[in-house]
Amino acid sequence: MKELTKAKVYVGKVSELPERVGKTVRIDENKEVAVFKLSNGKIKAVENKCPHKGGVLSEGIVSGEFVFCPMHDWKICLQDGKVQEPDFGCVKTYMTIIEGDAVFLLL
């Protein structure tokens, strides 16, 4: 079985990411990822587009391990990307790694 190599994309320094505020990382002209530093220090990354009406999730309000879409307040889990009931849907999640003070996305 062939092992797939994942691309690493530099996000920034852990020390410079504000807590509970999203950062938009542009991967290419058609893909953006929202990166969040949670109050517990974890770094989470999800697709930067709400499945409902395309709201920019990096502009949403973060509470615990959830982000609330700024357009219609849909609650999305940053751990697994699932929209919380009574709404439904999912966004893609991305693995993050920290090397020293540097944060990377694995694509």
Q: Kindly report the CATH number assigned to the domain that includes residue 83.
A: 2.102.10.10
Dihedral sign (CA 57, 89, 96, 33): negative
Does 6 score more than 70 pLDDT? yes
Q: Is residue 3 part of a domain?
A: no
Range of the domain at 27: 8-106
Q: Are the C-beta atoms of 49 and 31 separated by less than 8 Å?
A: no
Q: What's the structural domain count of the chain?
A: 1
* pLDDT at residue 3 greater than cutoff 60: no
Task: State the DSSP code for 82.
Answer: B
Residue 47, token pair as written in the block: 């697709």
State the burial class of residue 30 (Cβ atoms within 10 Å of its Cβ: 0-12, 13-18, 19+).
Answer: exposed
For 13-62, how does the pLDDT look when each residue is reduced to its tens digit (9 = 90+)? 999 999 999 999 999 888 999 999 999 999 999 999 999 998 999 999 99
**Full-model pTM:** 0.89
Task: List b or e across 58-70, with b for residues whose CB sees 16 or more CB atoms inside 10 angstroms.
Answer: bebebeebbbbbb
Mean pLDDT score of the chain, rounded to an integer?
92
Residue 16 maps to a domain: yes
